[in-house]
Structure 1
Amino acid sequence: MALFSSLKIARGTYFLSIVPLSFRCMKNAIVRIFGVSALLLIVHAFTFGQSSTPLAANGRLQVINRQLCNEAGTPIQLRGMSSHGLHWFDQCYNSSALQTLANDWGADVFRAAMYVDEGGYMNNKVGLRNKVNQLVDWSAQFGMYCIIDWHILNPGDPNLHTADAIEFFQLMAQQHAGKKHVIYEICNEPNGVNWPSVKSYAEQVIPAIRQYDPDAIILVGTPSWSGSPGDVRSNPLTGPNAHNIMYTFHFYAGSHYTQSYIDDVIKTVPLFVSEWGTSNYSGNGGNDYTNAQNWVSFMGGNNSSGMKISWCNWSYCDKDESSAALMPGACGNNGWNNTSTSGTWVKDKILNPADNFGPPTPFIAISSPANNSTVTIGTNLTITANVGNATATVVEFYDGTIKLGEDATAPYSLTLSNIQAGTYHLTVKALLNSGGPLTSSLVQVTAIPAPNQPPTITLTAPTNGTTFTAPAAISIAANAADSDGSVAKVEFYNGSTKLGEDTSAPYSFDWTNVASGAYTISAKVTDNQNSVATSGSVTVYVNSPGNPSADIIGPDCVSVNETKLFELNSINLPNANSFSWWCTGSTQSITAVSGQPSKVNINFGANFSGGQVCVGVNYSAAPWYKQFCKTVTLCTGQPPVNQAPSVSLTAPSNNASFTAPATIALVATAADSDGSISKVEFYNGNTKLGEDLTSPYEFSWVNIGAGSYSLTAKATDNQGATGTSSAVSVTVNAPVVNQSPSVSLTAPSNNASFTAPATIALVATAADNDGSISKVEFYNGNTKLGEDPTSPYEFSWANVGAGSYSLTAKATDNQGATSTSSAVSVTVNAPPTTTADIIGDDCAAVNSVKAFELNITNRANATSYSWWSTGSVQSITPTSGQPYKVTINFGQWFSGGQVCVGVNYSASPWYKQYCKTVNVCAAARVAAEELVSADAFLLYPNPTQNVFTWVSDKNVETLKVYDILGLERVGLEKIMRGTKVSFGEHLSTGIYLIRVNYEDKTHLTLKGIKQ
């Protein structure tokens, strides 16, 4: 089967038939006729449906013993491609390009090379951050790892842009925190500086990443264009942030022949070749495939350390140079497989040999909702989890440390009903049939109010084109509604001039004494959340009353396409019973006013040049019939063409950034050269956000989730013409994830015992890395006992009855995040029924530790206790808070004697002495096993005054520590061979038996002494 493991099958789904031949005959026939590729394809049909992606196979990466390893700890090699400068070759890096790179090239990793200078990031910060975020998301979609590269080259000193690098990587780590496929490369090719200078830069930038993404792989460039990684050997990065760090080495096959140097370096330095080429160091010139093959073989493990070194080839672009993987012009035609000579050669090295990632890595992930998404308050939120490469017995769902619920059947999901306001830090944990639990990356979801829906309004009266005679009375009416609230008011406008308002339905306003002229009427509604909407406008005409003595009342001149009202003077109406109107000039229409035939609206159309408006009237009495006419001329000049208004969005500024849930104030200026502004509307893309009818034109957009937005303003003038502003781009970043505090219950010790009625002192330590502790609460099970807002965090639990109790401490930080300590079990025993004055064992072994207690019947009115022994003992230690109890270490010289206590009372008998005789017991024996000397099994120090440290010589199932009375005091599980563990910090002075149960079913018992 070596034939098949030496080749990599491109990811995809295959539908193939199996020929009914013996495998050996089929193999021979196919190889003779079709060659090896056909054989491989058929075997692939036997074994694969949908092949796993590198990301799914490996999960979260880690560095172990200088080697890049997957989540299961298996050493791996990633092989892939680096981009060229993103700002130069943007057309080469889209979703289709990365999909082809993953599926056809079989790439495991893609490096996004973002130049800092040379027209790059410093010229377009927001645009290039958005591009990198896209590439990170596409890489995950297609199952590849993604390197975010801060491409320092010219100039070569990374310290020139330290503040910008910190800002950039903070934003990147915040955006992609917990994503298993993200690798950060903090300085591409430092040059002109030494390693201490680069190290100083790294020590400032790395904490910015670790603040949000504490376990990600970070690549650090080395001097001389990342050609001198050996400089790191004597002075590597150290400290709490130095885990999962690798150092970069870059080479070009036509210029670098330094395999022996690198062979020595990798013995002490973890290396990642984030850039190499087949050409010389310039990226051009002749390609040296012989030396390139030497390097590929070396990185594949053919070195003295057997180390696998991951790599990215330069470069996946169509630049006209010999190191480019694509032919010139390929990107413009989506020619992702139109490879150059170098590209063809490198593609084969990515595909062959096949990836060897070991057994698939078990994983669990939240598939929905997405990280940094928002949900509307009061709705339901369904959390869906996906478990891979493992069988889960149950999946548990958490918000921080609070368990929300669980699901035991796939597909695993949990629905939160009627979700309340706040930010939720969601994780899921899978409990497996075998092995430890799996925990997902964190997904942050913020519940925000539903966006207010704007109200609606329609102007119902007057109708468009209605005419009146001055002084006119115009009744204005509107219908208004609000789907998610109520209408606060309806305002009525003539152009931009407010006429009046109505706060209750039916919404109306009577406009009186209106002079002659043309008027544009609209209505504006405001809802209970101050969202506004404006109706369409109507135009009405108020004519001059004319000469009362004129036969026909109407304008003396009109404009083309204008509609005007004419009416017969009322002095000519007595006995009139019919009217016939006409015009001697060209008109479009003459329409009688309904119910008033003595009035007509005349549309003079486009061709009117002058004439007479006439009406013939029949009467029921003399003069029986009469004709009246009025001369109408074309007004001097035509009305000018309406000019569209201008508008500009003045706030926010272009490329401004905010933090979700954001509030953005949109402000616009608008003007109309030949009229007035009736409204300004604000848009995100094609979605209307709101509007304003009066200057200054403003709108406050609230509760905005993370994302990129394109904002515009649209102005409408008094004649309905519109103008739209240039777009303004803004980015809303995800909120900073508040880190939960840490808390530990330091007292009482686990498995401590007391006698009822007991007083138990609870003491906790708490800390918060990104804020402060607001309080620590103490619990028995789910019952709160008390709290303390200041350090030291303490609570005294008094009058505790007999029983078993599980105690915890819960810390809350200044942003409301909480954490709960591990539980501590204590037992409160019932008061003894014995009549003995002092309760305790009658005998004690040499070096044993025993507890003694004054009978409760002797403690009434006691104020102080003084304990001693008439025999030789090593120590007598009163119990804190319970001076009527002591622990006695009898030491190696004890030969018998009395244990005594003198008691002072606040009433008679004022003072009394009590004693108990204690003899020496026979020596204890270790049953069924030999007690082994601890020194021989790497238990140290022994004796100890603090903790024991033990190095496992084999895989351990359990390690348990018992006191001399046989009570279990410490329990540990699943310790791998070679692991160093420490325990016993809470143990009292005494002798302890340490029982080790190995996975191979053998056992070991050790003796440890705590001083």
Structure 2
Amino acid sequence: MTSREVFGVRMSNCLMRWFGFCGIPLSILFGGSLAVKAQPVNDAFANRIPLTGYSTNISASNVNATKETGEPDRVDGVRYGATVWWSWTAPASGTARIHTFGSSFDTVLGIYTGTLGSLTEIAANNNAPGTSGGQSLVTFQATAGTTYVILVGGTRIFQNWYYTGTIQLSVGMPPTVSLTSPTNGTVLPASEPVTVAATGSTPAPAIQRIDFYSGAKLLGTDTNAPYSITTTNLPMGSNNLYAILTDSAGQTATSSVVNVTVLSPGANITSPQDGAVFTNTNPITVYGAAMASGTITNVSFWVDGQLFGVFGISQSSTWSATWSNVTSGTHRFLMTAMDNTGLSYTSAPVMIAVARTIIASNSVWKYLDNGSDQGTAWIQPSFDDSGWASGPGTLGYGDTNRQNTILSYGPDPNNKYITTYFRRAFAVTNAGSYSNLILRVLRDDGAVVYLNGVEVGRFNVPAGPVNYLTTVPNAADDGNDFFPTNVSASLLVEGTNVLAVEIHQDSGTSSDISFDLELLGIPIIIRNLSPSINLASPTNSQSLIAPGELTISASASDADGSVARVDFYADSVKLGSVTNTPFSFTWTNPPVGRHEIYAVAVDDQGAATASTVITVYIFDETVSPLVQITTPTNGTVISGLSSYTNLPITATAFAMGSITNVEFWANGNKIGQASTSPYTMIWSNAAFGTNQLLATASDDQGRRGTSTVVTVVIVEPPINTNPPVIANVIPARGATITSLSNILITFSENVVGVDAADLLVNGKPATAVTGSGSNYTFTAVQTTFGLVTVTWASNHGITDIGYPTSLPFDAEGAGA
């Protein structure tokens, strides 16, 4: 595509070709003569209906309405017609909100002052954000006593044809309310009085009252400012607080929800909830809170007795840690904490289930695509499908860009097979270990699914008998989405099981079918009282100078069984195990550095509990400060860059006295320093290749410590030699279409600097552009029928992102 010859788009001048009626007289199309119908009473601007008050809702119609000379040319940039009119005098100054939600057609809404022919626009809207159905919404600052003119019309279908129907018009000056206390995320101790406060405003003469709620429960009401109530009966756990304001005009407003958590003293996991089910192995973030009479100094998170999150002293009462290496099965979360008085706390365990994938999407399926009537025998596990073909999902035809196996629709593209059959056998061991199954089906158009001969789900298939000629409704998602349903795990058998699926078309002329499936098993959560454990020695934050050995002691017990062993860890590395009391282990020659020590008790049923993590500092004989680079980690490789990068470097440092300075070094050269914790810096334009990083720390006694070396490899990006070109254009060059509103441009690589004015449609800049990376959608200006020429502006700023320099897009080149 070049700036001289881009692509032609011919626009059809036959409206009814859209509907298949080109050339048919309108009198036939609409059933005889075209009678003139009565117009709405407020069709003319002069007959606009007056509205009053703070809140008004009316029903009306624009059927048979017209558009008169002097009306605005467009509303919110779109052509319109079939208009009706109202006027509204603002009873007070403030925010006005007017909308057409609930109307039966695609509306436009305009607010004006003045008279016909010289109207001044105050606000206008075609499609309200976040809504469907093409209804409209405006808000504006109204002035008391000012009369505003309200226009409601239908968007243009074609030429002088416009949408009409019933109108639901709402005019109001709504109040507002918001909670000011407590703030979202607040953690409160049980039984402590809580003050819930709100502020509100209304254009009406007065606020009548503000009601305060926790969920559906009314906590109290205040009728005078400042608005607040005090309660002591918030239940344990999560509470959703909100306020509802009622003003003297009878209008109401509801605040945003504020979540507060009420906890008993100690350590508490607030999320996930006990018994939660996760359907994939994505990382799981665990949230917790700890409340103590002293200051919390250590917080740790555990899964199945393994540590995955550690935190030091913090002024916060809430923490979170993410478990990244999630596996299928049942798991047990614990949170432990310690305060500055030496007291330790352990949360109640939280048990979760992570689904096992029994059949993954894109699995191989047997299929039969010959249009035959298979009756009902084919759904049984014993059915012989050895003669059927097989292939991986997604299976289908018509959407080859996302289908791995292409099926046959028969010899006649205008009379395609209605039904296609699929089967898959799969093995299950320990079938009784599942509490439930989740079936997720991608289908276009409809699907019926059977497990071991029993129907377990219908997807876009109506109730009633089904045979090989049964058609179904068109799939609104066009086979793009997976739809879930729950299936009883009791249908599984030990050993071989069979899923059978029939996919049905909406008609013999349908353009495509698609099928894929995923089956998940939710494991039963088995509960066992876990053992308890506490570290007796060493103490938290203890400092030792060059000890030859360090004795780690713990006390452990199990309420419903016995302790099988206690495992001792330092820095997540197992030091050893003890199977008998006293549970004590001697760590010989502990290395210099900061160490996190904990113990894990395992009971006779395999349940594990970890102690609170304590920190121990081992100094050398000269008591040199301890320093270590924590970010990046040793062996980090940074690749896939497109240009230079800035590398954050963080270190920890500890001393018998106080740290005065931490210096950072790369390949023997000092690159930065920090004198206060957290000790961090940014290495700008970090060197490509292998880098040796280390940190040094100095204390107030003049002693100096050096960290171990951290190796970081930064891979040099490839040299940028190819400028971006156009990979694809929709609509295609030379296409004949009935309308042109958007042009999708796909570049050969990611680009930046794209502006709407860069694309010219018949010489006029596009009005808007959205997108990122390599895909951008330009909103075209309205065009007339005929050849449309699209070119690029000569002063565009589009470039790729490359090293050592970015290359510009050549709008005159062969690839443009």
TM-score, structure 2 as length reference:
0.24
Q: Which has the higher helix share?
A: 1
Of structures 1 and 2, the larger Rg is shown by 1
In proportion to residue count, which structure has more strand? 2
Flag the structure with more relative contact order, 1 or 2, with Cα contacts below 8 A and sequence separation at least 6: 2
